[in-house]
Amino acid sequence: MQTTTTTLEVKVYVGTYAKYNNGSIEGKWIDLTNLNYEEYCNTIANTHYDESDPEYMIQDIDTDNEVLRSMISEYGIDKDFWDLKEALKEFTEEQLEAYTIYVNNTKDLYIGNFEENYLGYFNDYNINQALGEYMMDITGEINEIPKHLQYYFDYESFGRDLLISEYWEQDGYIFGNR
C-alpha cells in the first residue's frame, strides 16, 4: 500500500463555439492540476480575448481520474469539481482507487460518506476469511468465545455472511451498506 499522496493531473482543451462553428478548433490546453476556479476563468478569458462574448467549449479532457472526468463536459466544469480535486490530492493511491469504486457504485461524491463506509482493502486470496478475521479482531468478539473453542470459529462463513448483509466488495475493497 502506497502511503504518499496522489498526483491528480487534469487538463482540458478549451475552444469556443464561434471558432468551432467557423471551422476552427483553435484553443488551448489548460492544466487544471494546480489551478483554482478563478485562475481557470482568467486563463480561458485571456486565451480567447479576441471574442467579445465567447461561449467556451471544452473539446478534450486528459486525466486518468474517472470521477473528475465525469464532472467535466463540453459545456463546462461542475462547480464541485474544484473542491473535490483539492480534497482528492490528500488521498493515497489505495484511497483514490477505493473512492472511484465507491462513487461508481453509489453515485455519491461526498467524501464524508465514503470515509464512513470504506472499511479497507483486502488483497487476500480468501476475502471472506480475511474479512471475518478482521471483524472479529477489531470488535474483540472473538474474546467472548472460550479460548479452547476459538480455533473452531468459522471466519470464512462469518465474513461471507457480512458481505451478504452488511458490506459489499469490489476488487478487494470493502464498503459498508450504511
- Looking at the chain, the whole-number percentage of residues with pLDDT higher than 70 is 97
* CA 130/CA 145 separation, integer angstroms: 19
The confidence band for 4, taking pLDDT boundaries of 50, 70 and 90, is low
What is the overall mean pLDDT for the chain?
93
Class of domain 114-176: mainly alpha
What pLDDT, on a 0 to 100 scale, did the predictor assign at position 1? 43
Amino acid at 164: I
pLDDT tens digits, one per residue of 97-139: 999 999 999 999 999 999 999 999 998 789 999 999 999 999 9
Is the whole-model pTM more than 0.85? no
- CATH 1.10.10.1190 segments of the chain: 114-176
What pLDDT, on a 0 to 100 scale, did the predictor assign at position 124? 78
Q: Where does 7-139 show beta strands of DSSP type E?
A: 11-16, 28-31, 56-62, 72-73, 76-77, 118-121
The residues near 40 (Cβ < 8 Å, ≥ 6 apart) are: 30, 32, 77
Task: Tell the residue number behind the cell numbers 455519491, with chain if given.
Answer: 108
What pLDDT, on a 0 to 100 scale, did the predictor assign at position 2? 44
What pLDDT, on a 0 to 100 scale, did the predictor assign at position 5? 56
